[in-house]
Amino acid sequence: MRLPRYLWRRVLAFDRIGSRIPQLVQIWLIELLFAMPLTFFIAKVIDIRGAFGVPGTGESLGGVFWGSLVVSLVCGFFFVRSLIRPRLVHGGWTPVVSGDAGGATLIVADRTWRVEYDYLTSHPSYALLLLLTAPIPAVMVAMTANHGDATFYWRVAGIVGLIVLALMALTRALAWYVFRFGRRRLANQVKGISQRRLGWEIAWKPVLMLIVMVYAIVCIPMGWMWWSEKRTIAALPVVSVADGTDAVDEYRRVEGYLNSDPVYWAPHGTGRGGNNYSGAGVLVDIPSGGEVLLLAESLSVPDFKGVIDDVSYSGEIHAQGRVIDHITDTQGKY
């Protein structure tokens, strides 16, 4: 039982995480409700006015976005107050020591060195909680990659969101290290243990372990699915001319060299920014001889653009798709 206790208390710091979950959730929610509504408001203002060569929509700012600004200002007040007038929070920590006893190593909690420690709600370790919010704007940026300017609002919202979160983290660091708000209330409470080590064990480590745990719960399954997808694609046969009759509706890898420039089309107009396409295609020479026509329709066009962007200087292309034995009239026209 000593090893699990050592991992629980010393390595993972779960004994300190559990007692701070309510406080951490409260801080995260305030920061979330400050950052994201403000992000949506600013992004909508930019969307209306236009930027980066993209024309604005010219519409009026709706009541939903004014409401978002109100929510952001209210939560922003509590965020700023927590930095300028931080609260003292009481915590405790019992160091764990180890020693050799014969052929075994004993790991025990040294209660004679138990630390009762006060820390401030403005501590910079809380900036790590912004990593729980950061995936929201990051996904907005990622999901609009290679899309046309019809998704300009969401792309701007993602960029603005990441900037807002970075500024919040910077503000917390300035409040602690530069302006030192409330730090005079922290006296040298413990002798024999350095303040740096106490800061790590009491403040940084529990929050860091919480972030690692949350990311592990999400990222490990997603990483496994991504790896499984890559293995499935790698196991596909390379396309050949004969597949046009022998493997219709089956999936194949496309390995070859570009034989033409990519063509994009939008029969009903390219929309805002002039770069919203409903289809694309390019001719590819394959090593086994012959040519294949790589086509993309609707939601696959951004993926097609990504494949084209990844084409090497020699013109070598790597893609995958479903074999078809006919093309539409629109595809034939373009």
Quick: pLDDT tens for 126-182.
999 999 999 999 999 999 999 999 999 999 999 999 999 999 999 999 999 999 898
Q: Do residues 119 and 23 lie in contact, with contact meaning Cβ atoms separated by under 8 Å? A: no
Arithmetic mean of pLDDT over the chain: 86
> Residues 20-50: pLDDT tens digits?
677 888 899 999 999 999 999 999 999 999 9
Q: Determine which of 84-88, 165-169, 247-251 has the lowest per-residue pLDDT on average.
A: 84-88
Q: Two tokens at 66?
A: 């004014």
Query: How much is the average pLDDT of 92-116?
Result: 55
**Judging by beta carbons within 10 Å of its beta carbon (0-12, 13-18, 19+), is residue 28 exposed, middle or buried?**
middle
298-308 average pLDDT score: 94
Contact 117, 198 (CB under 8 A): yes
Per-residue model confidence (pLDDT) at position 112: 53
Query: How far from each other are the two terminal CA atoms of the chain, in whole angstroms?
Result: 70
Distance CA 138, CA 31 (A): 16
How, if at all, do strands 251-258 and 316-322 pair? antiparallel
